[in-house]
Structure 1
Amino acid sequence: MRLPLTFRTYRTLVSILEPAVLGLLYWRQRKGREDKTRLGERQGHPSRQRPKGHVIWVHGASIGETLSLLPVVERMTQRGLAVLVTSGTKTSAGLIARRLPPGAVHQFVPLDVPRYIRRFLDHWQPDLALIAESEIWPNTIMALSERDIPLVMVNGRMSDRSYQRWQKMPGIIKSLLERFALCLTQSAEDAERLARLGAPRVVVTGNIKFDAAPPPADPRVVAQLSGLIAGRPVWLAASTHQGEESAIIAVHRALAKRHPHLLTIIAPRHPHRGPEVAALAGQAGLQAGRRSQGMHPDRATDVYVIDTIGEMGLFYRLSPIVLMGGTLVPVGGHNPIEPAKLGAAILHGPHVHAAVEIYEALDRSRGALMVKDSNSLARAVSEMLGNAALTRDMARAAGDAVQALGGAVDRTMQSVEPFIVQAKLGARR
Structure 2
Amino acid sequence: MIRFIYNLFWPIGLLFFLPGYLVKMVRRGGYRKKFGQRLGIYDSDVRTRLSKRRWTWLHAVSVGEVNIALKLATALRALEPDLHCVLTTTTTTGFALANKNAPSWIEVMYSPLDYWPIMRRALAIIRPARILLIEAEVWPNLAAMAHARGAPVALVNARLSRRSERRFRRFRFFVARTFRLLDLICVQEQEDVDRWAALGVARGQIHHTGSIKYDPENADIDPTLPRKVLRELKVESRPILFGGSTHAGEEEILGRIVRELDADLPELFLIVAPRHVERAPEVCRALEQLGLRVAVRTQLSMVNRTVDCLLLDSTGELRNWYAVATVAFIGKSLIAHGGQNPVEPIMAGVPVIFGPNMENFAGLALSLIAHGGAVQIDSPSDLQRAIVDLLNDSRLRETLVANASAVLRQHAGAAARTAKLIVDLTRR
TM-score normalised over the length of structure 1: 0.90
Correspondence list, 1:347-386, <5 A: 347-386=353-392
Letter of the 1:32 counterpart: R
Q: What SS does structure 2 have at the residue aligned with 1:209?
A: coil
Query: Contact 2:212 / 2:411 at 8 angstroms: preserved in 1?
Result: no
Query: Contact 2:270 / 2:310 at 8 angstroms: preserved in 1?
Result: yes
Q: CA deviation at 1:275?
A: 0.9
Equivalent in 124, 127, 130 of residue 128 of structure 1: 130
Equivalent in 287, 307, 322 of residue 301 of structure 1: 307
Change (3 A) 1:157 1:218: closer
Query: Contact 2:226 / 2:324 at 8 angstroms: preserved in 1?
Result: no
CA distance in structure 1 between the aligned counterparts of 2:56 and 2:114, rounded to whole angstroms: 19
Change (3 A) 1:28 1:210: closer
**Structure-2 residue corresponding to 1:427:** none
Change (3 A) 1:231 1:294: closer
Equivalent in 217, 222, 230 of residue 225 of structure 1: 230
Q: CA deviation at 1:242?
A: 1.0
Query: Contact 2:243 / 2:330 at 8 angstroms: preserved in 1?
Result: yes
Change (3 A) 1:136 1:34: farther
Query: Residues 184-236 of structure 1, C-alpha deviation per residue, up to 9 Å, x if partnerless?
Result: 11112211111001112211111111226445436265245257213322110
1:37 and 2:30 correspond: no
Letter of the 2:97 counterpart: L
Which ranges of structure 1 fall in alignment gaps of 5 or more residues? 423-429
Correspondence list, 1:14-53, <5 A: 14=10, 27-32=23-28, 35-47=31-43, 48=46, 49-50=49-50, 52-53=52-53
Q: How many residues align?
A: 418
1:343 and 2:339 correspond: no
Query: Contact 1:87 / 1:109 at 8 angstroms: preserved in 2?
Result: yes
CA distance in structure 2 between the aligned counterparts of 1:99 and 1:44, rounded to whole angstroms: 24
Q: CA deviation at 1:46?
A: 2.7
TM-score normalised over the length of structure 2: 0.91
Query: Residues 49-74 of structure 1, C-alpha deviation per residue, up to 9 Å, x if partnerless?
Result: 31633311111211112212222111
Change (3 A) 1:64 1:182: same
Q: What SS does structure 1 have at the residue aligned with 2:213?
A: helix
Equivalent in 91, 111, 118 of residue 109 of structure 1: 111
Q: What SS does structure 2 have at the residue aligned with 1:355?
A: helix
**Structure-2 residue corresponding to 1:167:** 169
Query: Residues 160-205 of structure 1, C-alpha deviation per residue, up to 9 Å, x if partnerless?
Result: 1111111111211211111111111111221111100111221111
**Structure-1 residue corresponding to 2:206:** 202
Change (3 A) 1:231 1:81: closer
Q: CA RMSD in A?
A: 2.3
Which ranges of structure 2 fall in alignment gaps of 5 or more residues? none
Q: Percent identity?
A: 27
Q: What SS does structure 1 have at the residue aligned with 2:128?
A: coil
CA distance in structure 2 between the aligned counterparts of 1:134 and 1:209, rounded to whole angstroms: 14
**Structure-2 residue corresponding to 1:13:** 9
Correspondence list, 1:302-317, <5 A: 302-317=308-323
Change (3 A) 1:16 1:169: closer
Change (3 A) 1:373 1:98: same
CA distance in structure 2 between the aligned counterparts of 1:295 and 1:268, rounded to whole angstroms: 21
